[in-house]
Structure 1
Amino acid sequence: MTVDGPDASRTVDEETLRYVGRLFGQRDGVRTTSLFPSNKLESLVVTFDTDYYPSGVDDVTLELRAYTNGEFHISYIERRSGERRRCRWDRHEQSHNSRDHYHPLPDASTESAVDRTYATDLTRVLEAAVLPWIDDRVGQLWDSV
């Protein structure tokens, strides 16, 4: 699958997203995985089971995009009490930060992005940065109850 628009030279890394989707499908706490849904054609969307979260958390998803040139975008989206919170791990060329960077909660704004250094392999990024962050986030939410 080739991307349309200004990033037309990027090709979706379907093999990696399929592999990661299978891994998430085997994880406790994951309700569903959806590869290339009609509203997110380049993405793997992972929906977490909100039973693992305190009441008031309505929906938690992770949206992953991966490209054969090594670029990626991983968005954590949390909806609670009508409010949407979002953060994002990125690897792509742009003018606001280094190629590897992170956009923190609550809104993943460009202004609050910080430089990061990630492993080359997307599965290692998930293992070393994203999943530990999600575990910490669940703990923070429970601690705030």
Structure 2
Amino acid sequence: METIGFHYVVEAAGCDPQILADAKKLREIFLEAAKVGRMEVKMTHFFKFSPTGVSGMVVVAESHLSIHTWPERGYAAIDVYTCGTKADPEGAVDYILDRIRAKYAHVSEIKRGIYEDDDTYTHMIMTWEEALRRNGNGG
């Protein structure tokens, strides 16, 4: 089945609140994640909210990586979307989850742009949960 893109939607919990509150650190993590995921960075923007939280995006030639954080809850909403087959979006997701010290992740992989015989497109979703080994916890 041929697809135009892969979109990972991630709910990350049990994350390090200090990292989730640090726009500069998150920018560094996401730039490295793009490199790990074999993506070509075009631009970045990360914004620190007051009193807490960060929203950030890395635009890549293949599409984008983004994060929205709630440090007071240890929660981050993460998107990684890539077009084509050269990039490794799952590798980028794994790198991000490791660096924000997530203890748990609910991941949906959406295969987008699946061509139908009637000249339309659809998508397919696969979802899983992971208990991650962070700080001596998890599976």
Q: TM-score range by the shorter chain?
A: 0.3 to 0.5
Larger RCO (CA within 8 A; separation ≥ 6)? 2
Write 1 or 2 for the structure with the bigger share of strand. Answer: 2
What's the TM-score once normalised by structure 1's chain length? Answer: 0.40
TM-score (norm 2): 0.42
